[in-house]
Structure 1
Amino acid sequence: MIITAIANQKGGVGKTTTAINLATAFAASGWRTLLIDLDPQGNASTGLGIERDNRENSSFELLLDDVALADCSRPTSIPLLDIVPATVDLSGAEIELVGAIDRTQRLRRALDGAADYDIAFIDCPPSLGLLTLNGLAAADKLLVPLQCEFFALEGLSQLLQTVEQVQQRFNERLGIVGITLTMFDRRNRLTDQVAEDVREVLGDLVFDTVVPRNVRLSEAPSHGVPALVYDHNCAGSRAYMELARELIDRLPKRRKAA
C-alpha cells in the first residue's frame, strides 16, 4: 500500500477537496483506495456522505484506542473507496498524544502490514501539530495543495522545513511527490505570478495540472458526494482527473484491483 499524506498547515487551500476527489479518481481507475480523515473538522467524511452519527470507530479510535484498521474503515458510495472517518473527538487527540511515548508513530503502527488497499490518502488537519506529524510519519509520499496567493507561499517554506525534520527524525522514506496549484483564476494577474514563482523555485515538483476556482467543487460537499460524481464534466472535476493521471505516473506501479 502506498501511503500519501495531503497536507498544508494553511487552511482554505483546497486540501480536503483534493483528498476527496483524488481518492475518487484513483478508485475510478481501479485502485483499491482508502481515505483517512485525520482532520477533527471531519469535512472529508461529510464530503463522502458519512453521517456524523455513523462514525463509530473513527480515526480517533485508530490512533488512541488501538482499534484495528479493518474495524475503523467503512465503504463509501464510490466503488473501491473506503474511508476512516473523523469525529470531533479527534480535536482532543493532540492533548492525549502529548504524553504517549510513541506519539508520532501511532498512525504508522496502525497501518503497518495493511494489504487490503493499493493506496491510502491521509487528509491532514491545517496545522503542524501531532496529528499532522502522525500523517507525515506514516506516509511514503506528501502531496501539497498550494493556493495561488501570496500568503500561501509564505507558509510553504515552513512546511518544507517540517518535512525535512520529519525525514531526519521520524520517517526517512518520506518524499514530496508534488505540489498542486489550487484555486487558480486566470482573471487575476497575481494568480499567474504566484504560479510562475512556485514553478521557478520548485521546478518539476509542481504538477502541470492546476485546479481552477470552480463553483461545482464548492457545491459538491453539501450533497455528500465528490465533485467527480456531482458533475464529472465541470472544470474542477476534469482538473482532478488529470491530476490523478499525473500522480499515478509519479508513484510506484501497483497492480490494480480486478
Structure 2
Amino acid sequence: MQIIAFHNVKGGVGKTSAAVNIAYLASQEGIQTLVWDLDPQGAATWFLSEANPQSARKIGPLIKGKSPIGDYIRSTPYPKLELIPAHRSARSFDIKLNQSGSGNELKQWLKSLSEETAVVILDCPPSLSELAEQVIGTANAIYVPIIPSKLSLQSWDQIKGFAKEQKVKPKRLRPFFSMVDRRKTLHRNLTENPTKTLPTALNTVIPNASAIERMGEAREPLELMDRRSKAARAYRDLWQEIRSSLKL
C-alpha cells in the first residue's frame, strides 16, 4: 500500500482539487483507492458526492481504540474509490492526538488497511501540527501545491523546515505549481522552468481555471465534468508523474 498526502500550510492553493482528481484517476486504472478527508471543512467529502454526509463518524472512538478505521470508510459513486468523510469533530484532532500520546496513530490505523487498499490519499488541513507531523511521518510522499508567489514560496520553506525537524528525507516532499495564471508576469517567470525555481518540483503545472472552480457546483472530478479542459489534462499529467513513483 502506498500513502500519499496533499498538504500545505496555506489554504486555497488547490490542495483538495488535486487530491480528488488524482484519486479519481487512480481508481479509473483499477487501483483500489481511499481518500481520507482530514480537513474538518470537508471539501473532499463534498467533491466526492458523499451520499449521506451525516454518516461521517466522530474521531474520538477511533483515537481511543473503540472503533476500527474500517468502520469509517464509506463508498463513493465511483468504483474502486472509497472515502473516509470529514467530521466536524476533526477540529480537535490535534488535541486528541496529543492527549493520546500513543506514537504515530495514523500510521497504525492505515497499516490495518494494507490488504484491501492499494493507494491512500490524505487531504490535509492547512497547518503545521501534531496531525501534520503524523502525516509527514506516515506518507510515502507529500505533494505540496504552491501558487507562484513569494508568500507561497515562503510557506514551502516552512514545510521543508518542519519536515527537517521530523527527520523526513527531503525527497519525500514534492512541490508542484498550482493555480497558475500565465497572464501574470511573476507566474510566468516562476513556472517557466519549475525545477529551476523549485529543484524537487514536479514538471506538471496546474492552471488557475474556471473548470476547477466549477467542481464545487458539479461535485464531480474534472475527468467527468470537463475532460477536454486544460485543467483536466494537467491533472492527468500530474497523475502520470505521481503514478511513476508509486510502488504498485
**Hey, what does 2:178 align to over in structure 1?**
182
User: Contact conserved, 2:59 with 2:93, CA < 8 A, in 1?
Assistant: no
**Hey, what does 1:108 align to over in structure 2?**
107
Q: 1:241 & 1:63 partners in 2: Cα distance? A: 36
- Per-residue CA distance 1:159-197 (angstroms, 9 max, x = gap): 01111222x2xxx57852522211111111110223258
Pair 1:222 & 2:221 matched: no
**Hey, what does 2:120 align to over in structure 1?**
120
Q: 2:78 & 2:217 partners in 1: Cα distance? A: 16
The percentage of aligned residue pairs carrying the same residue is 27
Pair 1:200 & 2:199 matched: no
Pair 1:241 & 2:236 matched: yes
Q: Secondary structure at the match of 1:233?
A: coil
Letter matched to residue 219 of structure 1: R
User: Contact conserved, 1:39 with 1:124, CA < 8 A, in 2?
Assistant: yes
User: Contact conserved, 1:59 with 1:84, CA < 8 A, in 2?
Assistant: no
Change (3 A) 1:141 1:96: same
Normalising by structure 2, report the TM-score.
0.91
Pair 1:78 & 2:73 matched: no
Q: Secondary structure at the match of 1:206?
A: coil
Letter matched to residue 32 of structure 1: Q
User: Contact conserved, 1:3 with 1:121, CA < 8 A, in 2?
Assistant: yes
Q: Secondary structure at the match of 1:207?
A: coil
Letter matched to residue 82 of structure 1: E
Q: CA deviation at 1:89?
A: 1.0
- Per-residue CA distance 1:129-166 (angstroms, 9 max, x = gap): 12222222221211111112221001101101111222
**Hey, what does 2:22 align to over in structure 1?**
22
Once superposed, which parts of structure 1, at least 4 consecutive aligned residues long, lie more than 6 Å away?
none
Q: CA deviation at 1:221?
A: 2.1
**Hey, what does 2:40 align to over in structure 1?**
40
Q: 2:99 & 2:12 partners in 1: Cα distance? A: 30
Q: Secondary structure at the match of 2:30?
A: coil
Letter matched to residue 251 of structure 1: L
Q: 1:61 & 1:214 partners in 2: Cα distance? A: 40
Letter matched to residue 35 of structure 1: V
User: Contact conserved, 1:142 with 1:174, CA < 8 A, in 2?
Assistant: no
Letter matched to residue 49 of structure 1: S
Q: 1:138 & 1:53 partners in 2: Cα distance? A: 27
User: Contact conserved, 2:179 with 2:207, CA < 8 A, in 1?
Assistant: yes
User: Superposition pairs for residues 142-153 of structure 1, below 5 Å?
Assistant: 142-153=142-153
User: Contact conserved, 2:63 with 2:96, CA < 8 A, in 1?
Assistant: no
Q: 1:195 & 1:181 partners in 2: Cα distance? A: 7
Pair 1:250 & 2:245 matched: yes
Q: CA RMSD in A?
A: 2.1
Q: 1:123 & 1:144 partners in 2: Cα distance? A: 11
Unaligned runs of 5+ in 2: none
Normalising by structure 1, report the TM-score.
0.88
Letter matched to residue 109 of structure 2: A
| Paired residue total | 247
Q: CA deviation at 1:240?
A: 0.4
